[in-house]
Each structure stands twice: as structure tokens, then as C-alpha cells.
Amino acid sequence: MLRPGGDRVSEVRSIVTPIRLEYEFTAGEAAQNFLHGLAEGKLLGRRCPVDGKIYLPARGSCPEHAVSLTTDSVEIADRGTVTTFCIVRIPAENLSVDPPFVAAHVLLDGADIPFFHVVHGCPPEEVRMGMRVRAHWVPEAELGPTLRSIEYFEPIDEPDASFESFQEHL
């Protein structure tokens, strides 16, 4: 690469620069309901009136049918099945676990959309599709309207779910 005037310089391939983003999230009615449920140690979803699918975290409308979800809360079990996952070996801020850890989609019993969270409590290499897990909640006094109310999901002593039971949720 040449500078104006003909001097040769090495190519800049990357730079490191600090960046900070601050934002406010205004939760709608469905998200507020979900977050208040977390503060009570519950997972609350909402149902599509067309096909009965339960969405968690709840949304205001069904993405498939473009209709409002019911306003009635549906309590979902805090147990489920790992559908997909990856092992994370790079540190990041604001995580409740240190790497390596597993980031996974967990299809909670009773929900129709996988829930994204962390799996911990066993070596990452032991996590697998179909593995049964449950939420490990923070102590009751620390519960709040935040996903941090669930520290992670941990394996439970149940047989793996069959691939057929979750294949349409990949």
C-alpha cells in the first residue's frame, strides 16, 4: 500500500477500539408478564389462539399467524430438552459461568419454541441433543424480573428425549 507521495506502508487489517452502547428496553405487556413471572420463580408463556402453540418468552403476537396471543399466562415447566447447542470457550462479560460452557436451545416441557440459555453442571463435552435439563434458579431472595433469575440449566437424571420428539424445533 502506498501513501500519497509514494511511501510504502503496511496494510491495516484490524483495530481495537473501546465501544459502549447504552439503551433502555421498554417491555410490552407480554414481556412484562414473562419478566414478572421470573421474579416469582415461574416461566410464563402465552398461547396462539389459532394453533395453540405456546411461546416463551411471550410475544405480543404469533409470528406464524399474525394474531394476538392470548392474554392468559401459561406456566411452563422449568425442565426441558436440549435441541441444539455449542460449546463456548471465549470469555465474555456479564455471564454467570466461566468458559468453557454450553450455550443451548432448551425446549421446555409444554412450550413450542426453544428457550436460549446456558447449560452447566457437567463437562461441556457431555452435553448432547436430547439431554434432559432443568433450570437452576438463584436463591429466592435474589429473584427478579430478569433472565438472571435462572443461573443456568443443569442435567437431570432422566433418559434422553428421542430425536423425533424435538426434531421440528431445530
Question: pLDDT tens digits, residue range 20-79?
Answer: 888 887 888 888 999 999 999 999 999 999 999 999 988 888 888 889 888 888 999 999
Among residues 43, 121, 54, 131, the alpha carbon closest in space to that of 85 is found at 131
What is the extent of the structural domain holding 67? 25-76
Does residue 167 share a domain with residue 87?
yes
**What's the mean per-residue pLDDT of the chain?**
90
pTM over 0.85: no
> What SS3 class is residue 31?
helix
Q: Is residue 86 part of a domain?
A: yes
Spatial separation of the C-alpha atoms in residues 41 and 151, rounded to whole Å? 12
Residue 97 has pLDDT above 90, yes or no: no
Does residue 84 share a domain with residue 141?
yes
Q: Is residue 135 part of a domain?
A: yes
User: Which ranges of the chain would DSSP assign to H, the alpha helix?
Assistant: 29-39
Does residue 112 share a domain with residue 128?
yes
Does residue 81 share a domain with residue 70?
no
Does residue 132 share a domain with residue 87?
yes
Q: Of 10-14, 53-57, 116-120, 140-144, which gets the smallest average pLDDT?
A: 10-14
Q: Is residue 18 part of a domain?
A: no
Number of structural domains (the chain) is: 2
Does residue 115 share a domain with residue 159?
yes
Does residue 43 share a domain with residue 32?
yes
Q: Is residue 63 part of a domain?
A: yes
Does residue 89 share a domain with residue 70?
no
Q: Is residue 145 part of a domain?
A: yes
Does residue 111 share a domain with residue 98?
yes
Q: Is residue 110 part of a domain?
A: yes
Does residue 59 share a domain with residue 114?
no
Which pLDDT band, with edges at 50, 70 and 90, does 14 fall under? Answer: confident
Residue 169 has pLDDT above 80, yes or no: yes
Spatial separation of the C-alpha atoms in residues 121 and 130, rounded to whole Å? 16
Spatial separation of the C-alpha atoms in residues 133 and 126, rounded to whole Å? 12
Does residue 131 share a domain with residue 53?
no
Question: Would you say 52 and 110 are in contact if contact means Cβ atoms under 8 Å apart?
Answer: no
CA distance readout (Å), 28 to 39, 40, 55, 75, 169: 16, 19, 15, 19, 26
Q: Is residue 144 part of a domain?
A: yes
Does residue 94 share a domain with residue 53?
no
Q: Is residue 8 part of a domain?
A: no
